[in-house]
Structure 1
Amino acid sequence: MIRFLSGGLIGPPAVRLDGPRCYIRPPSPHDWRAWAELRSASRDFLTPWEPTWPADALSRASFARRLRRQAQEWRDDLSYSFLIFDPHTDAVVGGLGLTNVRRGVAQTATLGYWAGKPYASKGYVSAATRLVLDFAFTHIGLHRVEAACLPINDASRTLLERVGFTHEGYARGYLRIDGVWRDHVLYAILADEWRDRGVAPPQQR
């Protein structure tokens, strides 16, 4: 299900996961404009929760570099990045990914996600999270997926708890967000816990 261009450079993996509320797939070059327009329109909404954006964050060249890095990380089993799409309009509504994949005795990754302002709190990200958890536990064989959010981010905490994550702790100065080292609350879900929820697997194509 993963396709790379000849010569070792890198095309996006040919994988898509479909659910009733959204579908997710790795970004490709033709997504740049829709992605950049949504991120630009949502800048004030997103920046309080994200690392500081570089000056060229939304440029086509920066997006191309991002795609090359992400596709290489797919190849190296280091991270798996997706965009989230509305299935009725094919509009980009957000993104999510599994980063910091650790194999060996850990078999763990970290979940991160975002939604454009017009699409926040409308069920897209929770639906996409269910798709990516099934991908994590069924398709790439992880044992554990972790997530962290700011203590004041009630929407994110509610989302994680709704899809089955357990609150595990509090980390001081955990990540540098919007230029400041911020405390985070820590969550995780295990493969057995996910399977016990009896969630139907997504359609893959």
Structure 2
Amino acid sequence: MSVLDRLTGPQLPSLAGDGVVLRMPRRTDYVAWRELRAESRDFLRPWEPLWMADELSWESYRLRLRRYGQEAREGASFTFFIFDADGATLYGGITAGLIRRGVAQNCMLGYWIGQRYAGAGLMQRAVEAIKLFVFDIQGLHRIEAACLPSNARSIRLLEKCGFRREGHLRNYLKIAGRWEDHYLYALLAEEWSVSQSRDGASRTSGA
């Protein structure tokens, strides 16, 4: 970690999952991030907001880091990069954002993965790791996720991770320059607790 990372970034623990590590982005991650996003451009752009002309520039990345740090300090959003267990290979990113406290106690899940790593189960492992952070560490009650009806990969991921489809949101987000409908998925803390109990019972019994 660089001196600037230590001075400007919130000191948050890394999240260890099944063969993946989640940690907040650093200045030193820029080259790996730029290269992975660049080679995955055509794969990612149909599912994301319109890319700007300077999307992959150092200045754009620096501003992202500043925003991520500020949001984390305020407890409004936490953005992590997803790495292999050694922290050497960048796979993608995942965010618990738009955090609401008070009577809501929820957040919105967002994620992306490099094309070369898609379909290997890595994002499912990252989602499982961030559940612990959201429910156990942040104490939130609900994780929401929105995905395009045409995004079969994302739908499969959310359903494998225990999310339930709750609605159809019309012209919900502007994706690739167009307002698009989205499916709304959600997972509740009590549903996660039950699944954790089942998993623990299965391991104890040797199932």
TM-score using structure 1 length: 0.91
Q: Which structure is higher in helix share?
A: 2
Mean Cα deviation higher: 113-122 or 17-26: 17-26
Q: Among the aligned pairs, what percent are the same residue?
A: 47
Asked if 2 retains the 8 angstrom alpha-carbon contact of 1:97 and 1:112, the reply is yes
Question: Counterpart of 1:25 in structure 2: which amino acid?
Answer: R
Asked if 2 retains the 8 angstrom alpha-carbon contact of 1:39 and 1:116, the reply is yes
Unaligned segments of structure 2, at least 5 residues: 201-207
CA offset digits 1:50-77 (Å, max 9, x no partner)? 0001111111111111011111000111
Asked if 2 retains the 8 angstrom alpha-carbon contact of 1:13 and 1:71, the reply is no
Question: Counterpart of 2:31 in structure 1: which amino acid?
Answer: R
Q: Matched residues in 2 for 1:57 and 1:171: separation?
A: 28
Q: Matched residues in 2 for 1:35 and 1:41: separation?
A: 10
Equivalent positions of 1:134-149 (< 5 A) are 134-149=132-147
Q: Decide which of 175, 178, 193 is 1:177's aligned counterpart.
A: 175
1:88: Cα distance to partner?
4.8
Equivalent positions of 1:52-71 (< 5 A) are 52-71=50-69
Rg (Cα) greater in structure: 2
Q: Matched residues in 1 for 2:54 and 2:129: separation?
A: 31
Question: Counterpart of 2:195 in structure 1: which amino acid?
Answer: R
Aligned residue in 2 for 1:109 = 107
Secondary structure at 1:75's aligned position in 2? helix
RMSD: 1.4
Q: Matched residues in 2 for 1:74 and 1:36: separation?
A: 22
Q: Decide which of 32, 35, 41 is 1:34's aligned counterpart.
A: 32
Aligned residue in 2 for 1:203 = none
Equivalent positions of 1:7-86 (< 5 A) are 10-86=8-84
1:14: Cα distance to partner?
3.5
Mean Cα deviation higher: 105-114 or 89-98: 89-98
Q: Matched residues in 2 for 1:20 and 1:90: separation?
A: 15
Aligned residue in 2 for 1:151 = 149
Q: Matched residues in 2 for 1:27 and 1:89: separation?
A: 12
Unaligned segments of structure 1, at least 5 residues: 201-205
Q: Matched residues in 2 for 1:14 and 1:178: separation?
A: 32
Question: Counterpart of 1:19 in structure 2: which amino acid?
Answer: G
Secondary structure at 1:53's aligned position in 2? coil
Asked if 2 retains the 8 angstrom alpha-carbon contact of 1:12 and 1:67, the reply is no
Pair 145,70 (structure 1): closer, same or farther in 2 beyond 3 Å: same
